[in-house]
Chain A
């Protein structure tokens, strides 16, 4: 198994080295201006020189993303369960949930700021609304796909509707909700970016990597802008693997077929 584990680190590292190397050569040989695309070494330099600034902005964005996803998990899971139990509710709300995904948040931002001000909360809500949908869909599908024979069997053993839910449906829905959150993560970071740039206009609240990137773009601080993007990328990968780990912990049975013997 150790070669497999080593490969899991070596392979992405090799791809990364090749990409960054190619990029460096491209910029160094004058393929593009430093102001348009900074070379990796200048990005690394910017990362190092601005570590304090990046770190403080990162904290804001990280909180928005993490709390936003947790909020989406909680509300997505609950909404899926509610819609599973009540077809009236499902018919009433499902189309709206789909429609909500088409709203560009710049449009809603003024209203959210009007309700909750410039603080972190409206940003968190935007992240949550965007992440809510994949969680809802995967959870609802998982609840639907529970074997009806399984539920029948529990019924012959006198399970109440609630007991059947707890024993058969909730455990099937849990890993699905986390899978939904994994998909949501892909957009969560972008969502935080949009949230910051559309709702954070006053001096005090203008923090977060999204805000930082927008500022750097106008100030032609391209290297620092890319440094902020690198931080976001690393953060997204870290979040993804945290969720994968959580899934493994909470639903070990869902991984049995992979046959990984460690």
Chain B
């Protein structure tokens, strides 16, 4: 998949990526910045067409890297926007969203406009919006990037709990290898641009996983190594 910007050379964002996620699986995608992770999610959601290859994916909801909340709607209405688009009555849509708000520690900010929220709060609102879309597949683009360590851990636990309650197929893009190992059933490591799959790691561990669990640490090291070796091999090629 390549971008063809005007007046600049085309950029090949992805090459020969072959990934599969089974139903109910949480697939994490890690890779260096600019390797095409966001592009991959946009392909999955049908927002871009691949130059070559095929994508088979049931309808997917995207949580974009930038939150893209609508500044003229309250936080609650932003979160409930998918329900409103599906013609659910306003009161009912708000009630559903505010239930999740409370669970994510956003209560009290229902009426706030997006610009009155912190970056982490906006991210959580965008997360609720994606979740409430009711789509079978969720594409999360660095969903917890703007959160502090503690809130991030809380959100991760909450995500795992929410997914056990209501299983969905999730493709989670992240910079954070540890987050990938703690949350995912499988971790795909991408190479620098143009992205291709370097390794896929199976994480066959029970939830809840502890960061300090030796198995988690070992997998994390493995993933980091895969990321790092790609970097060095690329540097050698340049020389």
Partner of B66, one of A149, A156, A168: A149
User: In the complex, which residues of chain B have a beta carbon less than 8 angstroms from the beta carbon of A167?
Assistant: 70, 73, 81, 85
Q: How far does the alpha carbon of A131 sit from the alpha carbon of B86 in the complex, in Å?
A: 39
Binds B, one of A107-115, A157-165, A196-204: A157-165
Partner of B71, one of A154, A158, A253: A253
Q: A149-B68, A153-B62, A168-B70 are in contact. Are A158 and B86 (CB under 8 A)?
A: yes
Main secondary structure of the interface of A (DSSP, over half): helix
| Interface magnitude class on chain A | 10 to 19
> Would you call B187 an interface residue if the criterion is a C-beta within 8 Å of the partner chain's C-beta atoms?
no
Nearest CB in chain A: distance from B64 CB, A:
6
User: In the complex, which residues of chain B have a beta carbon less than 8 angstroms from the beta carbon of A119?
Assistant: none
Q: How far does the alpha carbon of A158 sit from the alpha carbon of B66 in the complex, in Å?
A: 19
Q: How far does the alpha carbon of A147 sit from the alpha carbon of B65 in the complex, in Å?
A: 14
Q: A150, A156, A251, A252 — which one has the most chain B CB atoms within 10 A of its CB?
A: A156
User: In the complex, which residues of chain A have a beta carbon less than 8 angstroms from the beta carbon of B81?
Assistant: 154, 157, 167
Q: How far does the alpha carbon of A155 sit from the alpha carbon of B68 in the complex, in Å?
A: 13
Beta-carbon contact of B70 and A150 below 8 Å: yes
Give the nearest-CB partner of B60 in chain A. A156
Partner of A158, one of B64, B70, B72, B85: B85
Nearest CB in chain A: distance from B48 CB, A:
9
Beta-carbon contact of B45 and A156 below 8 Å: yes
User: In the complex, which residues of chain B have a beta carbon less than 8 angstroms from the beta carbon of A152?
Assistant: 42, 47, 62
The proximity string for B residues 5-30 relative to A, scoring 1 for CB distances below 8 Å and 0 otherwise, is: 00000000000000000000000000
User: In the complex, which residues of chain A have a beta carbon less than 8 angstroms from the beta carbon of B72?
Assistant: 171, 251, 253
Partner of A147, one of B45, B60, B68: B68
The 5 closest A-B pairs by CB, nearest first: A253-B71, A171-B72, A157-B82, A156-B62, A156-B45
Q: List 17 A-B contacts (CB under 8 A).
A: A147-B68, A150-B70, A153-B62, A153-B64, A154-B85, A155-B47, A156-B45, A156-B61, A156-B62, A157-B61, A167-B81, A251-B72, A252-B113, A253-B113, A253-B115, A256-B113, A256-B115
> Which A residues form the contact surface with B (CB < 8 A)?
147, 149-150, 152-159, 163, 167-168, 171, 251-253, 256
Extra 18 A-B pairs, beta carbons < 8 Å, given A149-B64, A149-B66, A158-B82:
A149-B68, A150-B68, A150-B70, A153-B68, A154-B81, A156-B46, A156-B60, A157-B81, A157-B129, A159-B85, A167-B70, A167-B73, A171-B70, A171-B72, A253-B71, A253-B113, A256-B113, A256-B115
